[in-house]
Amino acid sequence: MNSETNSKQALIGLNQTKLERICSHLKEPSFRAEQLFTWLYKSHVNSFHEMRNFPNELRQRFGEQYCIHPLELIRVTGSTAEPTRKFLFGLQTGEKIESVLMKDGDRTTLCVSSQVGCAVDCKFCATASMGFQKNLSVGEIVDQFLQVSKESPSAITNIVFMGMGEPFLNYDRVIAAADLLNNENGIKFGAQRITISTVGIVPKIIRYAEEKHRYKLAVSLNGSSQESRLKTMPIAKKYPLPELMNAINSYTLNSRHPVTFEYVLIEGITDSVADAEKLIKLLSGRRCKVNVIPYNEIGGDYRRPTKEVIETFVAVLNNAPFPVTIRWSKGTDISAGCGQLAVLEKTA
């Protein structure tokens, strides 16, 4: 983006009420805001010149004072024929973030970021190496979907807030972004196809439950006990496992959706038969499902278990009273697998 674009306010991310304020400021009637909302979120325009029911003079005024997209697509890694592609975006303020598009059968899932970097510092996650830089705006979150959807050969069927950052540490903006994605007058993306993932920010899980949001909830458990969680997830010290499970109980009482637990298999830490048995004991009786994710190595101290160890672990879980799936993360060859997102290149 050039400096002129950087100085302009982006319209993506604004709801209809905020667009009405802009139209009022421009001394335009309120119906213009409804038209603008439609152009932005239903027609997915890239320029004001495409807004055909706007007078030329109004298009010019918008172009002088505002821009449409808060993100600039810098690079796409992977081809349209591959199951996974990674998208590098530049923010107007110069930082960079990544999104991942994954194709699996009839499902096309977009993994969006909610922060630049992350403050949670999970030891096995590449994003932690960036440190925390800033929260993304509503527009910077929603624009990931709008721009990737134009690049995707198939319609996006699912959105997961599981990219860079901890969504519940940017709670208000993440919820507002999900609401914009779901808005029936705009993008109209089904609430049941949006999943928000957290490492276990207990107060925000409780708030999420009390507010009764219709989006699905996923929790990165990554340990069958408080002790095992502490080995790789410092957040477990602030929010111990018993407190986390109580918060999840609150969620399942208030939601029609079961909670999804993400469980990363790390060699020698979370992959033993005893870990699998403890996991069954911990989660039995809960309305949940479990995604087992073999660890994606990022060059640090942690290792992916052997295939035999993974299969043994999953075999124990075959006796679990809850659904279990194994997620063989895609895109590891382009560092787009789970836990591999980290923009470490210098800003030009």
Residues in Cβ contact with 91 at an 8 Å cutoff, skipping those fewer than 6 apart: 70, 71, 97, 116, 136, 140
- Can you tell me the distance from the alpha carbon of 49 to that of 52, in angstroms, rounded to the nearest whole number? 7
Q: Put residue 78 in one of left, alpha, beta given phi > 0 → left and psi -120 to 50 → alpha.
A: left
Gap between the Cα atoms of 162 and 141, Å rounded: 12
Is 98 one of the annotated active-site residues of the chain? Answer: yes
What six digits make up the tokens of 51? 């807004």
Angle at 236 between CA 233 and CA 238, to 5 degrees: 130
Helical packing angle, 16-25 and 31-41, nearest 10°:
130
Rounded distance, CA 286 to CA 323, Å?
A: 11
Residue 122 annotated to the active site: no
The residues facing 259 across adjacent strands are 288
CA distance 199 to 191: 21
- Catalytic-role residue among 20, 98, 140, 166: 98
HSE-CB for 77 with a 13 A CA cutoff: 15
**Spatial separation of the C-alpha atoms in residues 276 and 329, rounded to whole Å:** 20
Count the alpha carbons within 13 Å of 67 in the hemisphere toward its beta carbon.
19
Residues catalogued as catalytic: 98, 338
